[in-house]
């Protein structure tokens, strides 16, 4: 184990919502919720103002609207999030060649692999504060929480303790005492199902886990999971920061606190998971040939179904459609404890399939509307999308309905702007990204 807290974990604060607040002055300091705005949508990110009302990620959007009806509900703009992420990852790359991105808004950095520098406690804290200052300046106001620890697990715990917008260094030698009061759910791999089994042993906190023997955990969880958990609760974690891992598959899974039996709810979650998978896929410049769906039932039996294309795709509509088709082929009447969507057979060049898997009769934006990535509703405009009007300039979609679209005209560099309403087919109004109003890219 390391004797210095030389692993850094950075987590951008409420990332998607923070980007929206940065670019939309009228939303600063107000609750913002980003995710699928359709009837089966799921929250991707909630601003801290919205979290005070109990809104959190992976919550059904309908529940979020009930808890915080006055929030701004936005579909999201993946291009803006990706651009901000690239700036942050470039800053981390200046610290060390060993940067392991976990997602657009989260990464580990091995500071020992960078240029020789003092790695004493004071120097590490100064480095973290300087990084946060530079990050805020470079991104136009975004903030991050930074943790420093002797391992990846401890660094991530430290960043959670630093939230929001702070720095936390866990001194070498203090790791076991630092994590002891935390919930056992803070340990990677301890989800609702594992927590339910541990609760039978009287476990609520990591301190409770520390009082159990390795044999206790192996007996309850199996050898591999039990031994790994026993190591982590005593801060034994020698996993390396791995920037050059070959990506063989990408997947997203959710374990539910209560079994879900409603097929429509599961379909919405699968669409959201497909969106996250495609975000990571396209962010790595990759395309996938195989889509996989994983279901775990209440009795812990698991079923996996896959479908392989005759080409390779990075299209959200294709991945989401395949995931939903695979789900539709499974019996979920007994409930689902865990649902996951993944892709594999990854290549660097798109290979369009010979046959289009998307139902041409389906609305062009239906799947995307229920996900957390940017997409245009069809017909019309999705809330939060950047637009340009020939007379009024740049703005964003406030809302749409009854053949009209309402736009607030402001940008990150202006004061809160005026609101105007137009006919939905007003020729002077167009998407800022060059797509058509129904979400299709312009021809040519």
Let me know if 227 is exposed, middle or buried by CB neighbors in 10 A (0-12, 13-18, 19+): middle
Q: Which helix (H) or strand (E) holds 405?
A: strand 404-408
Q: 106, 175, 369, 410: which one is catalytic?
A: 106
Q: Which helix (H) or strand (E) holds 9?
A: strand 7-12
How would you list the strands of the sheet with 302-313, edge to edge? 249-260, 336-344, 288-296, 302-313
Q: Give residue 50's Cα distance to chain centre.
A: 17
Residue 139 phi, psi dihedral angles, 5° rounding: -100, 0
Single out the residue of 84, 87, 9 nearest to residue 45, CA to CA.
Answer: 84
Task: Determine the Cα–Cα distance for residues 43 and 61; give it in Å rounded to an integer.
Answer: 6
Single out the residue of 343, 334, 341, 327 nearest to residue 264, CA to CA.
Answer: 327
Task: Determine the Cα–Cα distance for residues 210 and 229; give it in Å rounded to an integer.
Answer: 10
Task: Determine the Cα–Cα distance for residues 343 and 365; give it in Å rounded to an integer.
Answer: 21
Task: Determine the Cα–Cα distance for residues 118 and 268; give it in Å rounded to an integer.
Answer: 49
Query: In the structure encoding, which two tokens stand for residue 55, read together?
Result: 């809104």
106 is catalytic: yes
Q: Are residues 187 and 176 in contact, defined by beta-carbon separation less than 8 angstroms?
A: no
Task: Determine the Cα–Cα distance for residues 132 and 145; give it in Å rounded to an integer.
Answer: 8
What amino acid positions are annotated as catalytic residues? 106
């Amino acid at each position: 184990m390391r004797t210095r807290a030389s692993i850094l974990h950075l987590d951008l604060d409420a990332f998607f919502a923070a980007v929206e607040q940065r670019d939309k002055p009228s939303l600063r300091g107000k609750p913002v919720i980003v995710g699928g705005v359709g009837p089966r949508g799921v929250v991707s990110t909630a601003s801290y103002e919205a979290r005070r009302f109990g809104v959190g990620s992976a919550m059904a959007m309908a529940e979020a609207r009930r808890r915080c009806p006055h929030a701004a509900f936005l579909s999201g703009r993946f291009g803006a999030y990706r651009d901000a992420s690239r700036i942050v990852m470039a800053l981390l790359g200046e610290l060390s060649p060993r940067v392991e991105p976990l997602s657009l808004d989260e990464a580990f950095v091995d500071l020992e692999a960078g240029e020789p520098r003092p790695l004493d406690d004071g120097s590490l804290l100064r480095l973290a504060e300087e990084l946060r200052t530079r990050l805020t300046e470079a991104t136009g106001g975004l903030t991050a929480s930074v943790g420093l620890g002797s391992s990846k697990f401890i660094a991530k715990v430290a960043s959670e303790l630093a939230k929001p917008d702070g720095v936390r260094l866990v001194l070498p030698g203090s790791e076991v005492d630092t994590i002891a009061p935390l919930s056992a759910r803070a340990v990677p791999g301890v989800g609702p199902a594992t927590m339910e089994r541990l609760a039978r042993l009287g476990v609520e906190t990591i301190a409770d886990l520390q009082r159990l023997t390795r044999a206790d955990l192996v007996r309850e969880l199996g050898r591999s999971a039990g031994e790994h958990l026993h190591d982590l609760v005593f801060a034994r974690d020698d996993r390396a920061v791995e920037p050059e891992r070959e990506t063989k598959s990408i997947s997203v899974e959710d374990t539910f606190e209560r079994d879900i039996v409603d097929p429509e709810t599961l379909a919405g979650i699968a669409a959201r998971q497909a969106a996250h998978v495609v975000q990571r896929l396209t962010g790595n410049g990759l395309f996938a040939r195989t889509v996989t769906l994983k279901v775990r039932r209440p009795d812990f039996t698991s079923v996996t179904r896959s479908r392989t294309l005759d080409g390779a795709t990075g299209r959200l509509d294709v991945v989401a459609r395949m995931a939903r088709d695979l789900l539709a082929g499974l019996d979920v009447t007994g409930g689902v404890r865990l649902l996951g969507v993944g892709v594999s057979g990854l290549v660097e060049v798109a290979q369009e399939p010979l046959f289009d898997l998307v139902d041409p009769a389906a609305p062009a934006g239906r799947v995307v509307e229920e996900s957390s990535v940017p997409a245009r509703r069809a017909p019309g405009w999705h809330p939060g999308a950047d637009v340009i009007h020939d007379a009024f300039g740049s703005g964003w979609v406030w809302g749409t309905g009854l053949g009209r679209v309402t736009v607030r005209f402001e940008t990150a560099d202006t004061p809160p702007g005026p609101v105007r309403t137009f006919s939905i087919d007003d020729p002077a109004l167009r998407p800022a990204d060059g797509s058509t109003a129904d979400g299709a890219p312009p021809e040519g």
